[in-house]
């Protein structure tokens, strides 16, 4: 059976290196980043549940209010804004 190859003594052994310490400024010395992110995450869940409960009470089968708003918006756009390529009238200038 052949013998395994040997490493020459002049070859340096592979040693793990540790990363160097950061030399720049440290922004989170108080270690508040993790609790802050967790607090924001819990608040977003609370806000979503609150909005879901509020939206649940909206009657979507009655579309008269929506139609009224759309008609009012359509008339206000036609009266107040000129079409592209047109100059505004004297009353709008």
Look over the chain and give the mean of its residue pLDDT values, rounded to a whole number: 74
Q: Is the Cβ–Cβ distance between 92 and 78 less than 8 Å?
A: no
pLDDT digits (tens, 9 = 90+) for 24-41: 776 666 678 889 999 999
Q: Look up tokens 């819990």; give the residue.
A: 42
Q: How far is CA 39 from CA 7, 31, 47, 48, 84, in A?
A: 56, 14, 12, 14, 48
Residue 4 has pLDDT above 90, yes or no: no
Q: What is the mean pLDDT of residues 62-91?
A: 69
Task: In whole angstroms, give the CA distance from residue 74 to residue 64.
Answer: 15
């Amino acid at each position: 059976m052949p013998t395994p190859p040997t490493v020459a003594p002049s070859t340096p052994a592979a040693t793990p290196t540790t990363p160097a310490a950061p030399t720049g400024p440290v922004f989170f010395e108080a270690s508040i980043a993790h609790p802050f992110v967790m607090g924001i995450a819990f608040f977003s869940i609370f806000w979503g549940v609150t909005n879901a409960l509020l939206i649940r009470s909206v009657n979507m089968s009655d579309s008269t209010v929506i139609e009224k708003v759309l008609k009012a918006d359509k008339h206000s756009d036609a009266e107040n804004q000129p079409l592209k390529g047109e100059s505004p009238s004297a009353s709008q200038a």
